[in-house]
Chains A and B, each alone.
Chain A
Amino acid sequence: MRLLVPVLLLGLSLPAPAQAHQKSVSYSKWTLLEGGALAEIRVRWLELTSLPIAVDQSVETFDRSAVVSYLQTKLVLENDGGACEPVPSSETWLPAERGWLRLEWRVRCASPPRSLQSRLFTSLRNHVHFATILGPESSDVVLSPAAPRAAIDSTGARAGAGELGSYLRLGIEHILSGWDHLAFLFLLIVAARRLRDVAVLVTGFTVGHSVTLAGAALGVVVPHARAVEATIAASILLVSLENVGMEQVRGGVLVILGAVLLFAASALFGGLPAFWGIALFTACYFALLRNLGGGGRLRWLIACLFGFVHGLGFSGVLLEQELPRAQLVRALFGFNVGVELGQLAILFMVWPILQWLRGRDLGRAIVDVTSVAGAAVGTFALLVRVFG
């Protein structure tokens, strides 16, 4: 407890990956035509600044023909004879939202296309390219430096398993690269003593995030992105405070009050009215824990409730693609299974280590250290996401 306040302050002074884990992404749409295809690509100008074609990191200084040439050579449709050829002078610059470029061009293929390859932004390790193939039957592929090529079927007999696989991989990558989801999950299980408790918590979190991931991806609800990201940060802070039994320790009420005031300030000055609710919830939650004689009793509820919010965070990556509904269900399934697999992989790695540490009487210490760190990072992330 004595450590908590200085560590919180220290956390505020450190640069941390407080923003939501933004992937580097680009999109393309390939309309298969007789003898070729029409390609349309959407890329952030910012990402192009990482390439040697940028003169001085400014959008205005790009040589547009160099951009066209880069995109046409790095994103290629392939047939049996190799890459399909871009039709000269077929490129058209389309209007795009601020910060993005949209370019269209035609490619000529001597035989039906078989695969799509992306070598875009290979220097950015987390770059993901989403492509939609509009042929006799539409399909999606997700390409990344780890899996730069995907088979496509232009005859109408679709390779659905490949598409499902690419979303499954995306789900795994998403959870593994999402420090905030991992931090929340870790802080949930670090204080659990039995595997049964872990199973309950993980089930609660899974049920929560699966419901809202599906709801948001299918358009049943529309998430408020900034409120979701800020609430995810708040969830890390809240579960950290519970881990150290803040409602029981001397002076803990002041720390809880501080968190409640921080949430109220987020609502009042950060323009996020959802935090009035979170402030009320937090105050009542810790008062109830104190009344019930200690933390841990309602953790399944926290796992499930904040799981709802984390699910809304997961949905962003699928919503960005604006997939047709039929594909969305398949993508959603693959993505969610990927998230669960990534989550299980983390558990299988972390749980034995935690047990080993407990066997050496370090159980309490690891809970305290990680929770204090979690509180610091959660507070910092919350401030950045609300006021940054």
Chain B
Amino acid sequence: MSRPWLLASGMLAGAVLAVFYIVRLPQSAEPTADAVAWVNERPISRSSYEAALQAVAADRKGGIFREDDRERVLQRLIDQELLIDRAIELGLHERDPQMRNQLVTAMIDFLVRRSEDEARTADEAALRAFYEEQRFRFERSAQYRIAVEGASVPLPEGFLLLKEIEQRLGPTTARRVAELEVGERFRFAEGERQYTVRLLERRDGTVAPFEEAREAVEAAYLRDRSEAAVREYLELARQRSDIRVELD
């Protein structure tokens, strides 16, 4: 290639590169094939329309629509869009405390749902790693078998959790039971109420094996992931936002 043509090619390459960064093609709107109507270029989806129709059908005898039901439902959805447009235009979402609270709740729900969807796809290894890291959360509580003498307290047979002892004999007794060695007893007096409690047997708390605790592990994993997702989003939002505190 001769020198002039080489230089002309360089010019062309430069011009193309410049054009590439000076202009861009407009982003085409997300195709919404299932829109039943458009209000100010915003679609009303067929799924919203059908959900509204179902709600109307539930009110109708035998689920049979009246002649004008479909048109009426559509018009109501259009009205809704128009009212939402105006609410946004008036900034109600910024001014109305109730709406702000609803928006905050909806946003947290959205983040939680999305993170839960992601967490549900977690593999076995991730769940096991979480279980190992958080073993203390899957520990079974200690259990006690006791006998009460000197009072007719209805106690179920077998081992009881401290919580169950507390429900039946009160928190002070439950605390004392936890401190007893097997075979030891103590006398309890409270007003006219007097009895002796003896510790017959004790099972110390142990960590449940993974397979047994799987359901609890999955639930805890989802909860942890969703809490982390909200926290991460807020940290990111704080980094991206211009926040000025002017509190004295």
Which A residues are in CB contact (< 8 Å) with B14? Answer: 276-284
Which B residues are in CB contact (< 8 Å) with A291? Answer: 3-4, 7
Interface string of A204-219 (1 = CB under 8 A from B): 0000000010011001
Q: Which of B16-24, B172-180, B208-216 is near enough to bind chain A?
A: B16-24
A94 to B91, CA, bound (A): 7
Kindly state whether residue A8 has any CB partner on chain B within 8 Å.
no
In the complex, which residue of chain B has the Cβ closest to the Cβ of A305? B15
A285 to B25, CA, bound (A): 27
Q: Which of A45-53, A222-230, A363-371 is near enough to bind chain B?
A: A222-230
| Contact B13–A280 (Cβ < 8 Å) | yes
A185 to B65, CA, bound (A): 69
| Contact B11–A284 (Cβ < 8 Å) | yes
Which A residues are in CB contact (< 8 Å) with B9? Answer: 284
Kindly state whether residue B26 has any CB partner on chain A within 8 Å.
yes
Which A residues are in CB contact (< 8 Å) with B26? Answer: 219-222
Instruction: Please list the 7 inter-chain residue pairs (A to B) with the smallest Cβ-Cβ separation, ordered nearest first.
Output: A277-B17, A281-B14, A277-B18, A284-B10, A280-B14, A274-B21, A95-B91
Q: How many residues of A contact B (CB 8 A)?
A: 37
| Contact A312–B22 (Cβ < 8 Å) | yes
A283 to B10, CA, bound (A): 9
Which B residues are in CB contact (< 8 Å) with A283? Answer: 10, 14
| Contact B8–A288 (Cβ < 8 Å) | yes
Kindly state whether residue A273 has any CB partner on chain B within 8 Å.
yes
Within 8 A of B (CB), among A137-177: none
- B→A interface (CB under 8 Å): 3-4, 7-11, 13-26, 89-91, 94
Which B residues are in CB contact (< 8 Å) with A273? Answer: 17, 21
Within 8 A of B (CB), among A210-258: 212, 215-216, 219-224, 227-228, 231
Within 8 A of B (CB), among A89-144: 92, 94-95
Kindly state whether residue A309 has any CB partner on chain B within 8 Å.
yes
A272 to B90, CA, bound (A): 37
In the complex, which residue of chain A has the Cβ closest to the Cβ of B15? A281
A92 to B91, CA, bound (A): 11
In the complex, which residue of chain B has the Cβ closest to the Cβ of A289? B7
Which B residues are in CB contact (< 8 Å) with A186? Answer: none
Give 15 A-B contacts (CB < 8 Å), ordered by A residue. Answer: A221-B25, A224-B23, A227-B21, A274-B19, A276-B18, A277-B17, A277-B20, A280-B11, A284-B7, A284-B10, A287-B7, A288-B4, A305-B15, A309-B22, A312-B22
In the complex, which residue of chain B has the Cβ closest to the Cβ of A279? B14
A222 to B11, CA, bound (A): 23
| Contact B17–A280 (Cβ < 8 Å) | yes
Of the residues A212, A220, A224, A284, contact of B21 by C-beta under 8 Å: A224
Which A residues are in CB contact (< 8 Å) with B3? Answer: 291
A94 to B92, CA, bound (A): 10
Of the residues B19, B25, B94, contact of A277 by C-beta under 8 Å: B19
Which B residues are in CB contact (< 8 Å) with A222? Answer: 23-26
In the complex, which residue of chain B has the Cβ closest to the Cβ of A219? B26
| Contact A272–B7 (Cβ < 8 Å) | no
Do A284 and B22 contact each other (CB < 8 Å), given the known contacts A92-B90, A277-B16, A277-B17? Answer: no
Shortest beta-carbon distance, B8 to chain A, in Å? Answer: 6
Which A residues are in CB contact (< 8 Å) with B11? Answer: 280-281, 284-285, 288
| Contact B18–A221 (Cβ < 8 Å) | no
A231 to B19, CA, bound (A): 10
A228 to B23, CA, bound (A): 9
Shortest beta-carbon distance, B60 to chain A, in Å? Answer: 37
| Contact B22–A227 (Cβ < 8 Å) | yes
Kindly state whether residue A275 has any CB partner on chain B within 8 Å.
yes
Kindly state whether residue A292 has any CB partner on chain B within 8 Å.
yes
Interface string of A294-315 (1 = CB under 8 A from B): 0000000000010011001000
Shortest beta-carbon distance, B197 to chain A, in Å? Answer: 68
New A-B contacts (15) at CB < 8 Å, excluding given A291-B4, A309-B22: A221-B24, A222-B23, A272-B21, A274-B18, A275-B18, A276-B14, A276-B18, A277-B15, A277-B17, A280-B14, A281-B11, A283-B14, A285-B7, A288-B7, A312-B23
Do A228 and B25 contact each other (CB < 8 Å), given the known contacts A274-B17, A281-B11, A292-B4? Answer: no
